[in-house]
Structure 1
């Protein structure tokens, strides 16, 4: 009896999965909606009675039902980096020139529509959907697997094929315009808050805690990039992988194109700049990727984005309104940003009252006058900005707007560093927004994550002259008599705050380094620096060249960090923080080396290899005591060269007389131990 039930459940599961595949992937309806629903209800009833036989990826899960109290945070196996953007055809040609210079000849590109939705990473194990993770901060995201299982275009179980045992595929979850308008109208009629655009609706939906509610909202998904170990052994190009994953059962956009030149790319861009309005969903640009995987590896990554891909953003909706005034904001790094205060105007579904003017160059370029009529766009459909003024509507006696020469907060003369467009207030220890901003940054969730402290509390502590430096936080326990005088700040709040400050002393070195708010030192850069230099003392003694030799750390970051660490005020602050018990060295884990034959030697890997991936070679070198560098310099002992290595690296290595060895020669060096 039970065997018959199990067989029936397996049969219905297989049938319904096939119908879903035919309908949602191949757009082929082989069964009526009524008959499909009858079979689905039959399966649902059997699963309720015999839950032990339910498939973890049953088609009944597409109707939802699971409640999630809190989404689990999961680290991405491969970081979900963002793409660099451009709105200029010349910048696209510049991108192509950089690629050709690095590779040595023209390359093929794959052009794809840039869907305006929510990025998602799907992991499949043995053909079954195992996990769905949002982009999050690029390093880690939320596990939204149960919600994603309700999206009919995403297969729970792949058809039998030649897919790898485990892989990740990435894509974009979005909502069609018609569904957005219909659902927004329903929310409005029900007195509920409406969403500004389909992207926000899709993003809000996937984070709902009730998957049954998610299932009621029609989400769609396009998949567009494959990740797996030793990918080059399966595919040599991105285009080849796209065709293959479609065969596996994934929903791939039919509008992607393989282009043989940058002129083909621009033709694709021009076509979709107009044709995008005919689509049932929103796109905000075109993504351009180098097709050959080996060239992608050769081009590599910056700290934030791949060097082998970029996106061309379409120009956004434009409206006309009045410039009421310009105010100036001083940030925690001292950067002075002009902000346009506008007569409120509706733009791309939201009311816009303010727009960034970026810097003095922008004010000069726009030739802004008080009371000007201006054209406003949303750059990248997100941040409003002034595109131009309308001189035909300008009053004859209108006064030109000039960028200030002194800080609007502390009246210190502004400085402008060579090669930068931004003006800075150098009075970092005496300018209120910088002091408050630095401390607010320090306590933030991604930095020291000090519980019991918020931005408003920091403002209050500054006003009471209790906090003028980050280190002052660690003396607050001595000032309880003053803390109790703060309005709406009781004993429990004070206890929680002091406990949070004390607990922050255990935060790891990379968190502290990021929290200090050093210009150009973000979260990823701080992690790389901490892992490379191990402790603050090593960082203090490092030269600009030493810092710049760390993988993905450029000269600007190196110069900024060096300047920070050679400022006497900053050193005094660091000494105080060290004395209060903050962590300024990484917790060394005992590493058991496979050998030490490469100890004291530095390596750089470039090109494509036969038996190992570049990641595997890196681990192999480090496990035998070797050290990896990110660029070719006089400090490099060996360049490990594979196939399709960039000519510029080869030329530089030869010029500096850096020995160039093969994968085989590297293995021989290790075996000689």
Structure 2
């Protein structure tokens, strides 16, 4: 056998083993044998001197991810699903669906609702060419280099005549075992741990080094179809999954086609009993009309398809004891009471803390030290106290009293008139505020400094090594390596991440500064409007309020922030350290853009985006937003519970659009 023949045979053999392992769940060889095949393939490819094809198994890890994670417009929007939470709501969904069909023989597909990260995989002539996150449904992020490292995802479809183009949609998730191992290693090394496998999967997918993503052992299940060319839609969704399986794309083996509503309800009950024994996290069941003709007949509403629904598992509630109520200090000085709980397992996770939000919330629930309380994880994620068991309250219990001085710096705690939140008055003299401000500065939506975990920042603040964000860039390799449980390789990685973070965007930088009330969407508005930092720093409150989406309170906080000499010194130090960003170009709006020069009012709750996000999309399309409906309004973007603005718009003859229409305009 020639080397060329052996190369081709090896690639096919390894692809077959990947298919057996990830799709058929039936590994045929031991890991050591698989590794030997990979070593042989690498050696033959190196010796051949020929370019290695993009779909070779050895090409999964290589190069670097795009530090900007470039935006990708989805050809077909990735919309969300409606949720139901009870059998009654599920039966109501079935009734509405059947009313839209011209027959009574509804067949449903049922499968677990995976708790991971939605992804769209584009294959051209069978070869994986791009992977994009869901993002806001219209535009996601390019994560191709990282997705290529996930062995469950084939680099080439197993088909001699694949479609010219097909977007395979599905979920990237982190198995429970991989999540446990990742957090154990992070705790051992003093790094950041993740709250749940979903967060871990999302964080792993946005690494600048694909080798890190590869080490996280992510996996994938396919469950949907986007744009396609050269592929004839089969009769049913179940048939689509069978095709995916034949192509070597993993699909969930628990998916079933069901011919009765009773069977669908039984599936929910059965999966609810099994969920904690599964190797991955799920939070419900997704039901879809299995026949594509039924899907087409049912159609869509703004928030979701009418032919699908997610039936969420009820939140598990357990009782436990409140052992203490402490207060935490946030980056803006917000004082948050936190109940320290006797450890209790809720939905497979050990819960030890639950936020009580503010003094008013503590009083409303009347939570006291020594109380027995019901605890659940809201949305299967965030622990919360549901209620107190008053019959079990100790006779000597006392209501919680907010401390008068900050537990960290001793400064007076004040509660501004009209606000629910009490705040420490210590500013950056307070180490707790300083630590939280630095954690925010390094966070994903800000400077996105990979590997710089909360515990590391808190330790450096405690050691008096960090007083402002600029100090991060002054620490040397020796400084980082001297930290407890910090290996030299980890220190080198943090320095590399700090260097990479110096190249950012104006919007990210504004957000990273931690100006009160300024979120990432508001930061985008400010960056687009002023385009240069000095112009923003010189803006008056009146100038700021002239921007759609910037109200008087936010304008006041922005103006006061940039008037502060200490804040201006921090900004100068950060720029001196090398933080920079490209010039913000003035947006070029096509004359035929559907919203060019139009005024849009937003009302109601939108299904997949906030109002700020919707306003940003409208601006991208050349429109502007207003707060009230008038004769000058061109469109009303209406969500759920639209209320009086919808009535007024209808009376004035204003065109009504929904989120689906906005997403359609955003798509190319």
Q: In structure 2, what is the equivalent of residue 414 of structure 1?
A: 415
Conserved? CA contact 1:74–1:143, under 8 Å = no
Match of 1:77 among 66, 72, 78: 72
Q: State the SS of the aligned residue for 1:589.
A: coil
Flag the 1:85–1:570 CA change in 2: closer, same or farther, 3 A: farther
Flag the 1:574–1:220 CA change in 2: closer, same or farther, 3 A: same
Q: State the SS of the aligned residue for 1:147.
A: coil
Matched, 1:147 2:149: yes
- Structure 1 residue 326 displacement after superposition: 1.0
Flag the 1:459–1:276 CA change in 2: closer, same or farther, 3 A: closer
Conserved? CA contact 2:272–2:313, under 8 Å = no
- Structure 1 residue 312 displacement after superposition: 3.0
Conserved? CA contact 2:275–2:282, under 8 Å = yes
Flag the 1:342–1:236 CA change in 2: closer, same or farther, 3 A: same
RMSD after superposition: 7.0
Conserved? CA contact 1:356–1:385, under 8 Å = yes
Instruction: Note the 1:599-638 alignment, pairs <5 A.
Output: 601-602=597-598, 626-627=622-623, 629=625, 633-634=629-630, 638=634
Q: In structure 1, what is the equivalent of residue 165 of structure 2?
A: 165
Matched, 1:299 2:297: no
TM-score normalized by structure 2? 0.59
Instruction: Note the 1:109-508 alignment, pairs <5 A.
Output: 112-116=111-115, 122-130=121-129, 143-145=145-147, 147-148=149-150, 150-151=151-152, 154=154, 156-161=156-161, 163-165=163-165, 167=167, 169-175=169-175, 199=197, 220-228=219-227, 245=244, 248-256=247-255, 269-277=268-276, 279-286=278-285, 298-299=302-303, 312=312, 314-316=314-316, 318=318, 320=320, 322-343=321-342, 353-360=352-359, 362-364=361-363, 366-379=365-378, 382-402=381-401, 410-414=411-415, 422-425=420-423, 432=430, 436=434, 440=438, 443-444=441-442, 446-447=445-446, 508=505
Flag the 1:594–1:232 CA change in 2: closer, same or farther, 3 A: farther
Runs of 5+ unmatched residues, structure 1 = 302-307, 478-487, 489-499, 549-557, 607-617, 662-673
- Structure 1 residue 570 displacement after superposition: 1.6
Matched, 1:655 2:657: no
Matched, 1:10 2:8: yes
TM-score normalized by structure 1? 0.58
**Counterpart-to-counterpart distance in 1, 2:231 and 2:634:** 24
Conserved? CA contact 1:133–1:144, under 8 Å = no
**Counterpart-to-counterpart distance in 2, 1:237 and 1:577:** 60
**Counterpart-to-counterpart distance in 2, 1:659 and 1:517:** 38
Conserved? CA contact 1:134–1:143, under 8 Å = no
**Counterpart-to-counterpart distance in 2, 1:450 and 1:33:** 38
Write the deviation string for residues 283-315 of structure 1: whole angstroms up to 9, x where unpaired. 2334689977997684399xxxxxx98783553
Write the deviation string for residues 245-276 of structure 1: whole angstroms up to 9, x where unpaired. 55644222254579999999987655532242
**Counterpart-to-counterpart distance in 2, 1:635 and 1:237:** 47
- Structure 1 residue 339 displacement after superposition: 0.9
Flag the 1:428–1:650 CA change in 2: closer, same or farther, 3 A: same
Write the deviation string for residues 140-198 of structure 1: whole angstroms up to 9, x where unpaired. 768434531x33x6453342455353646442234376x999x89x99xx99x9x9999
Conserved? CA contact 1:372–1:390, under 8 Å = yes
Write the deviation string for residues 367-392 of structure 1: whole angstroms up to 9, x where unpaired. 43332344555555654444444445
Flag the 1:54–1:112 CA change in 2: closer, same or farther, 3 A: same
Q: In structure 1, what is the equivalent of residue 55 of structure 2?
A: 57
Write the deviation string for residues 606-657 of structure 1: whole angstroms up to 9, x where unpaired. 9xxxxxxxxxxx99x999x95365999438665599xxxx999997654334
Q: In structure 1, what is the equivalent of residue 548 of structure 2?
A: 547
- Structure 1 residue 539 displacement after superposition: 8.7
Conserved? CA contact 1:9–1:54, under 8 Å = no
**Counterpart-to-counterpart distance in 1, 2:636 and 2:84:** 37
Flag the 1:602–1:90 CA change in 2: closer, same or farther, 3 A: farther
Flag the 1:361–1:49 CA change in 2: closer, same or farther, 3 A: same
Conserved? CA contact 1:412–1:425, under 8 Å = yes
- Structure 1 residue 337 displacement after superposition: 1.5
Flag the 1:530–1:109 CA change in 2: closer, same or farther, 3 A: farther
Runs of 5+ unmatched residues, structure 2 = 101-105, 290-294, 475-482, 484-496, 603-614, 658-668
**Counterpart-to-counterpart distance in 1, 2:439 and 2:88:** 33
**Counterpart-to-counterpart distance in 1, 2:276 and 2:424:** 48
